[in-house]
């Protein structure tokens, strides 16, 4: 601490011991309130029963430990390796303290923003702490990587858990071992900690004992005011969804209307954020008659709603309404993430029924085969699904906060620990950001629907195998003959590009596979005016890997949106006069974005 004060003139000038003591007292008081909020949480399991996640971690690491501890020589070599790396670090630190120039034993990755502050390298203490952490992390990762005899699923889980634990234990997450936080603490006389602990108490109270990290300032962001403002009307609703039709902005439109099926895991307005990045507004301005499903945020009364209910009361009901309003039997369809998975099952169901309702299908970061499903598979095996089903029997739903935390854990440094440091250690509330506000606007999932989805898709992979049965109909994706535009994103942690490419091979009609730069959200919500990222196209989907596919692909700078719009018109270029919203039979119910999307968990 003395070194930090000496290095920071502002800290020396502003440090006030009395104010520092007072702010520490305030921080301790607020931390007590935070602890009280945590202890008052409504637990759904017996007090003497550990969380199922903890049991899964212990079980996984036990298998790794068995390999290393079953051989005394192997265990000794393991300890020696870590001890030698620490000795090398100690020698480097001693040479540096003696005034010699000494190369670092280990360096953080260049893109690791946790250690961007110059003092991590210029200050010998923080440099030592940083390198010790990196060496330990490297050693822990090697424990899993070099453990022989682990089945692929166990190895994947162990790698994931090691990643979570080592990120949580980073010295950047603690006041005394983060130079930036320590400087802020001293220069503000601990006011940052008082503010941060107050925010921690508020966030625990908001989550009813579960930490609901605020990622965005909600004060200047409101659905229907700053986001989801594309003009339109709710023209139909049932228990599961509201159907929104948007007002045209062009004199003519494509004859075939567009139906968007968003994921029910999140709210539809990811495609209608602020106007300058709204995909829905862009589609309307491009001369499309746009209909969007807005799923309800379900409560326990809808626990019985199944996957087939979501199909029948979602896209199938929407198609019937669109036919009544526009007179068109067929629609262009677009599904995003799990909404795309639902759309794919709906197309297969329609194919089996020999019902012609769809002109084309667009899938955005959608999986229909789960062989390469990525890190989310860590949460899915028979034991974990059974435990989750038991929990949902009590609550009727899976709380949105649990799914949100699972997604955040796929990128913990960006979506968890950066906010822990900024919010609770630096005391800096986050700024208003529409995307992160949407990310925190979690939705629940009915027990019946979520159980079916986990078992038939992630656990048993039945859809691509042709053994999935929906509403009494066995589904076969090879019977889906409509043209498909299948978009993956290169850095997707939720629907990996490899999974989307492999899934393209199961459809029976022409598939255009397109790869966009960036990730699951930014790679999709990428308006042309922003001039960001790029996308790749390749007429063939025969490649076994994305890397192989890219060798024959053409790269185009910017957004994929114009390419998709051009592809859509190729399927049906006929134009008709722009349509009014609703009909006498189906008059508007309320203004978009409707009431269902405003229900918060």
Residues belonging to the active site: 337
Distance between CA atoms of 255 and 327, rounded to whole angstroms?
A: 10
Q: What 8-state DSSP symbol labels residue 223?
A: B
Residue (of 19, 122, 142) closest to 130 by Cα position: 122
3-state SS class at 563: helix
3-state SS class at 444: coil
Residue (of 593, 591, 525, 531) closest to 226 by Cα position: 593
In whole angstroms, how far apart are CA 583 and each of 210, 234, 235, 325, 588? 46, 12, 9, 6, 8
Distance between CA atoms of 454 and 463, rounded to whole angstroms?
A: 12
3-state SS class at 489: strand
Distance between CA atoms of 358 and 33, rounded to whole angstroms?
A: 55
Residue (of 244, 250, 257) closest to 286 by Cα position: 250
Q: Which two tokens stand for residue 590?
A: 């309320």
Q: What 8-state DSSP symbol labels residue 214?
A: -
Residue (of 337, 308, 336, 318) closest to 449 by Cα position: 308
Q: Which two tokens stand for residue 421?
A: 């440091």
HEC per residue, 567-593: HHHHHCCCEEECCCCCCCCCCCCEECC
3-state SS class at 514: strand
In whole angstroms, how far apart are CA 496 and each of 104, 124, 250, 464, 490? 35, 41, 36, 16, 8
Distance between CA atoms of 215 and 218, rounded to whole angstroms?
A: 9
3-state SS class at 485: strand
């Amino acid at each position: 601490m003395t070194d930090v004060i000496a290095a920071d003139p502002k800290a020396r000038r502003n440090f006030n011991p009395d104010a520092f003591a007072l702010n520490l007292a305030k921080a301790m008081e607020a931390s007590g309130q935070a602890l009280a909020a945590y202890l008052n949480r409504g637990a759904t399991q017996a007090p003497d029963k550990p969380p199922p996640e903890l049991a899964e971690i212990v079980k996984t690491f036990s298998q790794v430990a068995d390999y290393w501890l079953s051989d005394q020589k192997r265990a000794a070599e393991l300890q020696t390796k870590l001890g030698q790396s620490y000795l090398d670090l100690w020698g480097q630190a001693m040479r540096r303290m003696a005034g010699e120039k000494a190369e670092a034993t280990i360096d953080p990755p260049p893109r690791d923003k946790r250690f961007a502050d110059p003092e991590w390298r210029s200050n010998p203490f923080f440099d030592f702490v940083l390198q010790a952490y990196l060496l330990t992390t490297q050693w822990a990762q090697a424990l899993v990587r070099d453990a022989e005899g682990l089945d692929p699923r166990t190895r994947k889980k162990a790698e994931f858990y090691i990643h979570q634990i080592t990120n949580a234990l980073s010295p950047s997450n603690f006041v005394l071992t983060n130079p930036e936080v320590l400087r802020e603490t001293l220069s503000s006389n601990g006011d940052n900690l008082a503010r941060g602990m107050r925010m921690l108490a508020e966030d625990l109270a908001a989550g009813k004992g579960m930490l609901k990290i605020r990622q965005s300032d909600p004060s200047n962001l409101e659905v229907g005011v700053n986001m989801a403002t594309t003009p339109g009307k709710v023209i139909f609703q049932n228990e599961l969804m509201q159907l929104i039709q948007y007002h045209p902005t062009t004199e003519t439109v494509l004859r075939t209307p567009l139906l968007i099926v968003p994921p029910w895991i999140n709210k539809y307005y990811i495609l209608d954020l602020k106007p300058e990045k709204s995909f829905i507004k862009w589609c309307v301005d491009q001369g499309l008659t746009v209909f969007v499903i807005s799923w309800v945020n379900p409560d326990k009364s809808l626990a019985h709603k199944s996957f087939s209910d979501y199909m029948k009361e979602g896209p199938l009901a929407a198609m019937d309404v669109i036919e009544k309003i526009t007179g068109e039997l067929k629609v262009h369809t677009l599904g995003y993430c799990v909404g795309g998975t639902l759309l794919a099952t709906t197309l297969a169901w329609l194919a089996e029924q020999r019902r012609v309702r769809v002109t084309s299908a667009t899938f955005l970061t959608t999986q229909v085969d789960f062989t390469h499903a990525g890190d989310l598979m860590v949460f899915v095996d028979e034991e974990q699904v059974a435990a989750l089903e038991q929990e949902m029997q009590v609550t009727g739903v899976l709380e949105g906060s649990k799914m949100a935390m699972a997604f955040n854990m796929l990128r913990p440094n960006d979506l968890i620990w950066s906010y822990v440091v900024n919010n609770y250690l630096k005391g800096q509330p986050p700024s208003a950001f529409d995307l992160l506000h949407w990310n925190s606007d979690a939705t629940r999932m009915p027990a019946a629907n979520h159980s079916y989805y986990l078992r038939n898709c992630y656990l048993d992979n039945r859809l691509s195998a042709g053994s999935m049965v929906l509403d009494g109909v066995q589904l076969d994706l090879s019977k889906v003959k409509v043209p498909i535009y299948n978009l993956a994103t290169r850095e997707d942690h939720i629907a990996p590009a490899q999974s989307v490419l492999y899934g393209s091979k199961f459809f029976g009609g022409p598939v255009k596979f397109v790869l966009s730069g960036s990730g699951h959200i930014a790679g999709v919500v990428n308006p042309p005016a922003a001039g960001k990222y790029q996308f790749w196209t390749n007429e063939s989907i025969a490649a076994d890997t994305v890397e192989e596919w890219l060798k024959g692909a053409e790269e185009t700078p910017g957004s994929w949106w114009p390419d998709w719009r051009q592809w859509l018109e190729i399927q049906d270029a006929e134009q008709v006069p722009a349509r009014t919203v609703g009909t006498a039979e189906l008059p508007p119910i309320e203004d978009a974005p409707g009431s269902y999307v405003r229900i918060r968990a």
